[in-house]
Amino acid sequence: MKTLVITKKQVSGVLTPRVTNRTVEKAFRAYGLGQADMPPKSYVYFKKGDLRAMPAYLHGQGFNIAGVKSVNVHPGNDRFGLPTVMAVIVLVDPRTGFPLALLDGTHLTMMRTGGAGAVAIKYLSRKTARVAGFVGSGIQARTQLACAMEVRGITAIKVWQRNKSSTSAPEFCGWAEKTFGLQASISREIDDVTTGVDILFTTTPSRKPIVTRVSPGTHINAIGADAPGKQEISPQILKTAKIVVDDWRQASHSGEINVPLLRRQLRRKDLHGELGAIVAGIRAGRATEEEITLFDSTGLAIQDMACASVVYRKIKARGGGREIALF
């Protein structure tokens, strides 16, 4: 038997925002129904970053696949000409343990995170949402927006520019205008971006709260906090919000809620539940137009394996990829 090697170009050819959203939603439903096994991600820390191992087994909603993702986060990688986040996925046949495929997981990680945000928006934001705010304007902001456009009719975005010399905010706005025809504006005042919006995306590596004000009815996709010590949202906002996590075990030690929990500013009973339970119909989503909702996204291996499975099946059917004999 041989293992199929699948590149970023091939992954991106399959994982459109629509396909990604549908796949990630099915993965959350499987998890909510107990049709997936997933231990929390584990970390190895270096001086300049970390390495994470993320295994999962999906056995429901049309999936029967397992695997593990190896992913790093090195914020200083730009000086080496490398992405901050790089990932490789090994997709495994649960019947034999044979490695079916070795996939580029870097683009897949960006897309599945956008897909998770879109699923949260579908169940937690107001259906009439039209204006989105962005605190953080890098690659993840683009995939969050691209996937969100599939579930809500966003017409305008407001983007925070931390530094006057930063080019990421203008580049992001230009891309959004060209790609989706959106009205885009930039502000150096973060409160201008976090208030008066229907959906707020936070995608920074901040280790202290930078979002301190939001308007009633806002849905927040808190994406940036994905390791211990990271946080973007004021504990005061968390206390008043309906908080939904992707996974309690991961979020409690590395998500947006990890620092407030450690400091006893938040307790587990303050959380509404997990997104998988909402997608599966076990828990309710948004209840009123005025409530503030927040999705704490840490990134789940079930999302990776579901998306990798879809890519593998499509590439295999096309006769694409490159087969190698590992053993």
Catalytic residues, which ones?
69
8 Å CB contact between 58 and 73: no
SS3 string, the chain, reads CCEEEECHHHHHHHCCHHHHHHHHHHHHHHHHCCCEECCCCEEEECCCCEEEEEEEEECCCCCCEEEEEEEEECCCHHHHCCCCEEEEEEEECCCCCCEEEEEECHHHHHHHHHHHHHHHHHHHCCCCCCEEEEECCCHHHHHHHHHHCCCCCCCEEEEECCCCCCCHHHHHHHHHHHHHCCEEEEECCHHHHHCCCCEEEECCCCEEEEECCCCCCCEEEECCCCCCCCEEECHHHHHHCEEEECCHHHHHHHCCCHHHHHCCCCCHHHEEEEHHHHHCCCCCCCCCCCCCEEEECCCCHHHHHHHHHHHHHHHHHHCCCEEECCC
What is the DSSP pairing of strand 36-37 with strand 50-58? Answer: antiparallel
Q: Within a 13 Å sphere around the CA of 305, how many CA atoms are in the beta-carbon half?
A: 32
Q: Is the backbone of residue 158 left (phi > 0), alpha (psi -120 to 50) or beta?
A: beta
- Cα 297 from Cα 270, distance rounded (Å): 17
- Cα 134 from Cα 140, distance rounded (Å): 11
